[in-house]
Chains A and B, each alone.
Chain A
Amino acid sequence: MREPDSPPRWAETVLETLLPCEDRQAVTGDLREEYAETVLPELGRWRADAWYLRQVLSLAPRRIFKEDGMRKMLLPVSVFNTVCGCWLITMEMLLRHAGYVARVAMDASISLVSLATILVILLHPGVRTERWFRLCGLPLIAIALWAFVRNARSTHFEGFVLIISLALTLQGVLLLVSLGKEPRGFRLGGMEGSR
């Protein structure tokens, strides 16, 4: 049940998920205070909720900038590969060339690993990832190399296959090397006195 002078609960939960845990309480507290004492009395419920959502959106990139360089790079690459994987699945299902089931399974595994990487980066910042998950980078690199060689040998060279195989290789390498250590300057523990 929503309290009368508090922002939408779901938006606050999204914000808490997006923020690094060291800032979670202080930042959501500031916004809740501003919402209740200034924005809601001035703007009314709907516009105040819209204001709160704008603040949530403005704070979303902050999470990414707190990560170190390799994790920052891993996020867009994983998003790209998730989208490409879904696109390849759709095309395979529509065209249904010989052997499409195996390729759909491969594309689905690419999408799943990429999606899992995105979730790990966003939901568990500053946490060393399990070794088995980091090792998912190896099959990604293997698939990328296989696709590249197959593409190079075919009579009709596909540019998009080259781009996707490069992105997969990059994601595989970054998965192997960047998630095994804690990002620089990242500290857990939401209530410590100073940073």
Chain B
Amino acid sequence: MSDLLGAFEQAVLLAIVRLAANAYGRTILHEAQASLGRQVSAGAVYTTLDRLEQRGLVRSRLEQGTEARGGRPRRYYTVAAEGVSALNEARDTLTRMWSSIQWPAEIVR
């Protein structure tokens, strides 16, 4: 894996993992907002989903929509095997980076 995942990409991928079979645009937006603790725009989420799909980290499929959506279809997302590897690698990298640091880090003046 040459490109490490960014924080927002990790948030979106982890949201899809947590939501499992119910991961579509709206629920991913909610989950990403909850995990990041801030408001997130729909544009940021869909752009990230596009990028992850282009990189082969997630897959999507269309399913029939509900009445609340005016019958419009839902695009459900699942994490691909490459996405799981990327998440594992991101976590390993972070763990390695933090392993030699005592927390809370002290500011040396």
Contacts and interface: CB of A to CB of B under 8 A. Distances in A.
Interface in A20-60: 23, 25-34, 36-37, 54-55, 57-60
A28 B72 contact: yes
Interface string B28-41: 01000000000001
Contacts, number: 79
A66 interface: yes
A54 B59 CA distance: 27
A27 B66 CA distance: 14
Given A30-B24, A191-B62, A58 B44 contact: yes
Interface residues of B, number: 26
A59 B43 contact: yes
A29 B47 contact: no
A58 to B, nearest CB: 3
Interface of A: 6, 23, 25-34, 36-37, 54-55, 57-62, 65-66, 185, 191-195
Given A30-B26, A33-B68, A65-B50, 13 more contacts: A26-B25, A27-B25, A29-B72, A29-B73, A30-B69, A32-B69, A32-B72, A55-B41, A57-B43, A58-B41, A59-B43, A59-B46, A194-B60
Interface of B: 24-26, 29, 41-44, 46-47, 50, 53-54, 59-62, 65-66, 68-70, 72-75
